[in-house]
Amino acid sequence: MLRQKAFMKKTKSGKVLKVVKEHYLRDDIWCSVETCKVCEHTEPVLSAVPSINKAFRLPHYIIPDTNIFINQIDVMEHPLITNVIVLQTVLEEVKHLSLPIYQRVRDMIANKEKRFYVFSNEHHRGTFIEKLKDESPNDRNDRAIRVATKWYANHIKDLNPRVSVVMMTDDAGNRDKATADGLQAISVKWYIEALDNTEILDMMSSAKDLDDGQKTIYDEHLSSAHISNGIKSGKYLQGKLGISSHNYLEGSIYTKINGEEGTILIVGRSNLNRAVDGDIIAVELLPKSEWRTTPTGVVVDEEEEQAEEESLKAEQEAAAATAAKEDTIMAEPEAEKATAAVEAHKLDTPQPCGKVVGIIRRNWRQYCGFIDRKSVHTPAGSSAPVNVLFYAMESKIPKIKIRTRQAHSLLGKRIIVAIDSWPRTSRYPIGHFIRALGEAGDKSTETEVLLLEHDVPFHEFSKQVLSFLPVEGENWVVQPEHFAGREDFRSLNVCSIDPPGCTDIDDALHVVPLANGNYQVGVHIADVTHFVKPGNVMDQEAASRGTTVYLVDKRIDMLPSLLGTNLCSLRSNVERLAFSCIWELNKDAEIVNVRFTKSVIASKASLTYEEAQNRIDDASMQDDVTSGIRILNMLAKKLKQRRLDMGALTLASPEVRFSLERDTQDPVDVEMKELKETNALVEEFMLLANISVARKIYEKFPDSAMLRCHPQPPSANFEKLEKAVARFGIEIDHSTSKTLSDSLDSAVLPEEPYFNKLLRIMTTRCMMQALYFCSGAQIEQEFRHYGLATDIYTHFTSPIRRYSDVMVHRQLHAAIDSSLSYGDELTDKEKMNDLCGNLNHRNRMAQQAARSSVELFTHLFFKNKTEEEEGYVIRILKNAFIVLVPKYGIEGIVYASAKVSKADSGESATAQPQPILVYNPETDCLQSTETLAEGETPKTQVQLFQKVMVQISIDDDLKGGGEGGMRQKLKMELLKPWIEGISVHGIANKDDPEAHAVTSTKKRDEAPVPAQDKKRAGKRTKA
Amino acid sequence: MPSLISPAERDYILKGIECNIRADGRQRPDYREVILETGVISQTSGSARVRLAGGTDVLVSVKADIGPVLVDPETGEGADKGQIICNVECAPSASQQFEGRGADELNNELTQMMTRFLSHNTTSLTSASSTTAPSSTTSHNSNGAGGINLSKLCIIPGEQCWILYVDALVLDYGGNLVDAVFMGTRAAIFDTRIPKTEVQDLGDGNFDFEVLDDAEDTEIVEGREDMPICVTLNKIGARHIVDASPLEELCTEAKLVVAVNRSGELCGLQKGQDGGIEPSLLLEMIQFGKTLGQTLIKQLDAKIKAEADADMVKRQNGQPVVKLGFFAQ
């Protein structure tokens, strides 16, 4: 039977199309019920005895409508929900409304255990319906669902054992109509409640119930047509919202303002207007008079007042008792946080400020976090549903209001929550519970949290991916046919030098003195691309993972471990495939010539840095490998010197490594990382190889080579640092990397040996992030790598743990072998650009995850410990300062205000904390409040680089006020110098109940960039 | 279609008409049987197929599209009006004479006539058709000669409007093309559904609009009832006939096309062929055309309405609407 379907479409060019599709109806679409004898299906999906729910007499199949999937996808994903008939009508509507949800539905359908069956009702003779005159498409689809349900009900009514179908919809009108037709219909809520399972009850999104809806807090968002028109006309600006990590009420977008790139600040709750970090938003600039000249707390104060006002108002409203409570509680930490976080340095020109007028695309994801203990008001053990507030681990995310029946059992746990909506009437976004991860503070839970939070894919490799591994598995060996197109370097004295415990060895070296007095030096890199062919599932998986992630106690591999730690790893005394870079260097380590080739090597030794160093130092060792290392060492020193002369930077970061207890993997000791000469040896040759390869692939692929650049930092980044060191009579010239390097070298204070290192650490923070890019996307001048002082650079030497290197290997192979055929993945500029974007993102996330992991272990280390340590002030904030403790590589905030305890402040919980030290914008330091005569120095002051003594402990009672539940934080308290009201009396007085709030937050600054290029930073983090 | 006629045949027809008996047995004011169906092409906004029993077969489609408004640079008129763009084409297969460029002149004549009768405006009054010597058009109702309310077709005044492309394709020729084309056009416009639009005010004097994607949620063309049809009167000898067959057309001395709407108002007049018409006969012919046209419209409207009602009933019951289309005999 042939039918027609027609709809109108407006094309991009403004034309209107009437699309008419032929629609054929069939009589061979089966019901897929196991016991059905009428239908001729071969692999029935729906089981003979489906779900049982006490709301219904018979076991039944569920037929949900579209909104059930759209609003309650998390419930549908719950293992309790099985035997569902997904109608084609519903599936198409879901696809039209939300692609991510459609994908999740598809995944469920693919999952055999879920028993989700897609019934093509639109193509079924018995269930297809024509749209009635004056019937809206929605009504038509609802009717189609009812008709299909009816068909099923009739079709299965005589089956044995007896079963039925249940239509699930939250639309009461639809339910009534279904009942009138003699069908069984139920809402999600009733259905779930009848299941008696609190967990799944919590997963139900109940946005409407949670919205108190009493007064409108936020302005309405503009329609998408308004926004796109406004953006076209330049009235609104578009950008991705980045929330400040110090203050979740302050965000910014980076966009073009009147043709110039710049940042627009968005300050305060009402200006942010329900935008969440990462959303693509449309912003309207505020009039110049409202731009911020000094980043003082003016706007924030206003916010505070508002909060206060609201809370007072709410208190008067007896009806909204809980809401009031929430608000009062909220107001206090908010106020504290907001003012504390405002960074205080005087701005000469007013900074553009804006407000959000609309949201172009939401970037909501699932958030890890915990429930605010203070928001739980029911007595322990109660399982009545309560509205509670949820704090995300990421401080940029606002609190989320959720409704839960398991509030008490979830306290102190890490849970995952999704945002459903953020109506204008609700102060906080409304979400629902998804699942609990485990106890807070537990190492494995916290590790999972940090992987989830940094978007690190850490699932096991799928069977499909593993199917692309060599079939021989561990017994794979180099076969004679592998020598085709490869040079045989098995006889060379190749060795590898890596950190102890390293199993994924991706580089090895050799050197041979030549007759003419020069040296042949070879860098051999694991030939990963021999095993990972472009475009297959394993390659796609690796490309999406982007990099191997190194945590303190584990490693998340980019490639299956058979490749990473075995077949590709250049282990000693086995033959391995390699990609070699062979130079002829003269005595001064200058390159005479270079060539690249695929090869077969057999490493003679895999050494640790220490072993290699010992070999160099031990004069009695005279074997070939050792003397090779000595020559390499000599050449490396010359290379390094030349690089430094060119202006390469030596920066530093306070990196530490943990000694872990063997069984529990708990940290027992922390030590600073030590660098040996041999670290530099490997590093120099890797740099040399990377630069040589970069030139080669750029020559072959001028438009699509994968390169890496490091932009010059803008001078604004250095302003504060320059001011601070000027005090010591030191000047920093950052005009080129060479001058910067020289000024760093000369910046030495004899009385403070750590000063130079500290300065290098702080310089590192002024740097830009190094990035992968596609050579066609930038002009040649921008290829420069600032930190390494080279005009071109790429990553070639670690293909086992970085996908960029895999691409570079492929491009290099294509460059040296003209007979090689390759796909457009090497030449397509757009694809390469997208890949670079992903790799940069994954890289950043991997770094942050690694850092969070270190932080986690630092916390574990300090658990039940209190240490007194020396530290340095590295940053001054308006009412706090940040202290770095070199011994542990940790940073913490010390507040310069004494917190007014709640008891004192009585009614107004939002009273301002009493400032003890105030910020002086002229000297960029904090000083005591007494009035000063001209030229007089204040009694006490805190300035950059100042050495202080701090007491470090774990403060697990910060937010939410519960024991052991929340974001555990390092607490840093000032011991020396003694400042009344801020300092504490060491360990003896620790239990003083009046202890002033001196706390610390996570360090969030960027890691040293050039450092991770030069060395193989992540790798060294491994214990 | 024969291009020549023998003197004997001509004499036969002439004498017959004198006696009020035509070659096919009709009387002078008799029309042939008209077969009409609307909605025959699903991709269009509206369509109709008209056949006259002797062979004339015309397919008319209306396509609604969006375009910029056409403003008269002198008078500034038209900023708030939609447009109707007509085109008539005779398929080469319809007649031997239409092969090659044979139909160009006829196409041109019919297209211009339709444009003038449907989207009447001042410019079309002055532009004389190349093939017709004396031409005159008169308009009586407020919506112009075509009857269609062009203002309703405007979406954003001064910017965007609906443009109705009316395309008539002559599939077969069996005489009396003009009447068939206009009957078809009227029925196709009757069948036309224009998607609804929602205009959004973006502020700053900017507007944008969305087209509702539901093919059912549409509007009719306002003023469609007031559209005229044409009655062609052929003067043969001292008499005049309607709905001439090809042979009769060859005998015609003078031709008068009378466009008339349902209230009997004269919407257009066009004289063709070389022969003259005496004033008294001219008035009689116009009067006759008007009366006949009015009856014709009534009958056509009744048929179209009956068809639309039948479709509606089917839709309301959720049954598929099946058209005979080209399977109809």
Establish if B25 touches chain A: CB-CB under 8 angstroms.
no
- Residue that is written with structure tokens 């039948």 in the block: B310
Q: In chain B, what percentage of residues exceed pLDDT 90?
A: 37
State residue A668's pLDDT score: 72
Distance between CA atoms of residues A7 and A730, nearest Å: 73
- At how many degrees (to 10) do helices A172-180 and A137-156 cross? 40
Establish if B204 touches chain A: CB-CB under 8 angstroms.
yes
Q: Which residue out of A17, A18, A138 would a mutagenesis test of the B interface target, given it has the greatest number of B Cβ atoms within 10 Å?
A: A18
- Residue that is written with structure tokens 């009689």 in the block: B284
Type of residue numbered A690: N
State residue A94's pLDDT score: 92
Structure tokens at A738: 């060479």
Provide the β-strand partners of residue A526. A578
Interface touch B66/A14, C-beta < 8 Å: yes
Average pLDDT over residues A619-628: 86
Distance between CA atoms of residues A189 and A168, nearest Å: 10
Lowest mean pLDDT among A371-380, A639-648, A690-699: A371-380
Q: How confident is the model at residue A9 (pLDDT cuts 50, 70, 90)?
A: confident
Q: Chain B contacts of A18, Cβ < 8 Å? A: 43-45, 215
- Residue that is written with structure tokens 């006696």 in the block: B19
Average pLDDT over residues A37-65: 85
Nearest CA in chain B to A234: B204
Q: Chain A contacts of B46, Cβ < 8 Å? A: none
State residue B169's pLDDT score: 95
Q: Chain B contacts of A137, Cβ < 8 Å? A: 214
Q: How confident is the model at residue A105 (pLDDT cuts 50, 70, 90)?
A: very high
Tell whether omega for the bond before B7 is within 30 degrees of 0, i.e. cis: no
Interface touch A130/B65, C-beta < 8 Å: no
Q: Chain B contacts of A131, Cβ < 8 Å? A: 216, 315, 318
Q: How confident is the model at residue A993 (pLDDT cuts 50, 70, 90)?
A: very low
State residue B184's pLDDT score: 94
Lowest mean pLDDT among A93-102, A355-364, A666-675: A666-675
Structure tokens at B167: 């395309």
Higher pLDDT, A935 or B60: B60
Decide: helix, strand or coil at residue A897.
strand
- pLDDT value at A900 more than 50: no
- Residue among B65, B216, B317 whose CB faces A15 most closely: B65
Higher pLDDT, B269 or A749: B269
Provide the β-strand partners of residue A579. A525, A598
The length of chain B is 329
Establish if B210 touches chain A: CB-CB under 8 angstroms.
yes
Q: Chain B contacts of A3, Cβ < 8 Å? A: 320
Q: How confident is the model at residue A328 (pLDDT cuts 50, 70, 90)?
A: very low
- pLDDT value at A265 more than 80: yes
Cα distances (angstroms) measured from residue A849 to each of A199, A556, B161: 29, 11, 57
Establish if A829 touches chain B: CB-CB under 8 angstroms.
no
pLDDT in tens, A198-233: 777 778 776 666 555 567 778 888 888 788 888 888
List, as ranges, residues 9-38 from A with C-beta within 8 Å of B. Answer: 9-10, 14-16, 18, 20
Which residues, including other chains, have CB under 8 Å from residue B15's CB and lie 6 or more apart?
none
pLDDT in tens, A351-382: 788 889 888 888 888 888 888 877 777 777 67
Q: Of A729, A1021, A724, A976, give the one whose Cα is nearest residue A850.
A: A1021
- pLDDT value at A759 more than 70: yes
Nearest CA in chain B to A138: B214
- pLDDT value at A154 more than 70: yes
State residue B122's pLDDT score: 36
Establish if A3 touches chain B: CB-CB under 8 angstroms.
yes
- Residue among A10, A15, A226 whose CB faces B202 most closely: A226
Distance between CA atoms of residues A120 and A41, nearest Å: 14
B173: buried, middle or exposed (CB in 10 Å: 19+, 13-18, 0-12)?
buried
Interface touch A16/B64, C-beta < 8 Å: yes
Nearest CA in chain B to A230: B202
Interface touch B211/A10, C-beta < 8 Å: yes
Distance between CA atoms of residues A167 and A84, nearest Å: 10
Establish if A223 touches chain B: CB-CB under 8 angstroms.
yes
Interface touch A229/B215, C-beta < 8 Å: no
Q: How far is B62 from chain A (nearest CA, A)?
A: 12
Would you say A527 and A539 are in contact if contact means Cβ atoms under 8 Å apart?
A: no
List, as ranges, residues 143-182 from B with C-beta within 8 Å of A. Answer: 160
Establish if A234 touches chain B: CB-CB under 8 angstroms.
no
- pLDDT value at A501 more than 50: yes
Establish if B318 touches chain A: CB-CB under 8 angstroms.
yes
Q: How confident is the model at residue A120 (pLDDT cuts 50, 70, 90)?
A: very high
Distance between CA atoms of residues A101 and A98, nearest Å: 6
Would you say A268 and A303 are in contact if contact means Cβ atoms under 8 Å apart?
A: yes
- Residue that is written with structure tokens 């935008």 in the block: A275
Q: Of A708, A850, A703, give the one whose Cα is nearest residue A782.
A: A708
Which residues, including other chains, have CB under 8 Å from residue A751's CB and lie 6 or more apart?
none
Q: Chain B contacts of A146, Cβ < 8 Å? A: none
Distance between CA atoms of residues A611 and A500, nearest Å: 9
- Residue among B64, B208, B213 whose CB faces A229 most closely: B208
Would you say A481 and A703 are in contact if contact means Cβ atoms under 8 Å apart?
A: no
Interface touch A8/B212, C-beta < 8 Å: yes
Decide: helix, strand or coil at residue A581.
strand
pLDDT in tens, A701-743: 998 899 999 988 888 778 778 877 887 778 888 888 888 888 8
pLDDT in tens, A27-44: 888 988 888 888 888 888
- pLDDT value at A334 more than 70: no
Higher pLDDT, A886 or B186: B186
- pLDDT value at B306 more than 70: yes
Q: Chain B contacts of A225, Cβ < 8 Å? A: 200, 202, 208, 210
Q: Chain A contacts of B65, Cβ < 8 Å? A: 15-16
Query: Where does A411-518 show beta strands of DSSP type E?
Result: 413-421, 430-439, 487-489, 495-498, 507-513
Output the average pLDDT for chain A: 79
Nearest CA in chain B to A15: B66
Structure tokens at A936: 């007089």
- Residue among A8, A226, A233 whose CB faces B215 most closely: A8
A648: buried, middle or exposed (CB in 10 Å: 19+, 13-18, 0-12)?
buried
State residue A804's pLDDT score: 93
pTM of the model: 0.66
Output the average pLDDT for chain B: 84
State residue A92's pLDDT score: 92
- pLDDT value at A274 more than 80: yes
Interface touch A18/B215, C-beta < 8 Å: yes
Lowest mean pLDDT among A676-680, B8-12, B49-53: A676-680
ipTM for the complex shown: 0.72
Would you say B229 and B262 are in contact if contact means Cβ atoms under 8 Å apart?
A: no
State residue A751's pLDDT score: 77
State residue A246's pLDDT score: 67
Decide: helix, strand or coil at residue A419.
strand
Lowest mean pLDDT among A144-148, A619-623, B299-303: A619-623
Cα distances (angstroms) measured from residue A361 to each of A238, A280, A281, A396, A453: 11, 5, 7, 18, 20
- pLDDT value at B137 more than 70: no
Average pLDDT over residues B145-174: 87
State residue A209's pLDDT score: 60
Decide: helix, strand or coil at residue A840.
helix
- Residue that is written with structure tokens 């282990």 in the block: A571
Q: How far is B183 from chain A (nearest CA, A)?
A: 25
Average pLDDT over residues A239-267: 80
| DSSP characters over B75-114 | T-TTTT--EEEEEEEE-GGG-GGGTTTTTHHHHHHHHHHH
- Residue among B64, B65, B316 whose CB faces A132 most closely: B316
State residue A447's pLDDT score: 85
The dihedral sign for the CA sequence B285, B291, B292, B294:
positive
Q: Of A125, A121, A112, A43, give the one whose Cα is nearest residue A82.
A: A112
pLDDT in tens, A436-495: 888 877 788 888 888 888 888 888 888 888 888 988 888 888 888 888 889 999 999 999
A–B CB contacts, 8 A cutoff, strictly below: 69
Q: What angle do CA A997, A654, A367 make, to 5 degrees?
A: 60
State residue A914's pLDDT score: 58
State residue B133's pLDDT score: 35
Q: How far is B214 from chain A (nearest CA, A)?
A: 5
State residue B86's pLDDT score: 92
Q: How far is B204 from chain A (nearest CA, A)?
A: 9
Q: How confident is the model at residue A754 (pLDDT cuts 50, 70, 90)?
A: confident
Lowest mean pLDDT among A673-682, A826-835, B290-299: A673-682
Which residues, including other chains, have CB under 8 Å from residue A223's CB and lie 6 or more apart?
A358, B200
Q: Chain A contacts of B43, Cβ < 8 Å? A: 18, 20
- pLDDT value at A305 more than 90: no
Q: Chain B contacts of A150, Cβ < 8 Å? A: none
Nearest CA in chain A to B318: A130
Would you say A744 and A759 are in contact if contact means Cβ atoms under 8 Å apart?
A: yes
Interface touch A8/B214, C-beta < 8 Å: yes
Establish if A8 touches chain B: CB-CB under 8 angstroms.
yes
Average pLDDT over residues A564-582: 91
Q: Chain A contacts of B323, Cβ < 8 Å? A: none
- Residue that is written with structure tokens 């904390």 in the block: A913
CB atoms within 10 A of CB A157: 11
Establish if B316 touches chain A: CB-CB under 8 angstroms.
yes
Average pLDDT over residues A320-335: 38
Lowest mean pLDDT among A46-60, A377-391, A548-562, A835-849: A377-391
Q: Chain A contacts of B312, Cβ < 8 Å? A: 133
Q: Chain A contacts of B318, Cβ < 8 Å? A: 129-132
Q: Which residue out of B196, B201, B213 would a mutagenesis test of the A interface target, given it has the greatest number of A Cβ atoms within 10 Å?
A: B213
Phi-psi map region of A408: left, alpha, beta (phi>0 left; psi -120 to 50 alpha):
alpha
Interface touch B204/A223, C-beta < 8 Å: no
Q: How far apart are the first and last CA of chain B?
A: 21
Would you say A6 and A137 are in contact if contact means Cβ atoms under 8 Å apart?
A: no
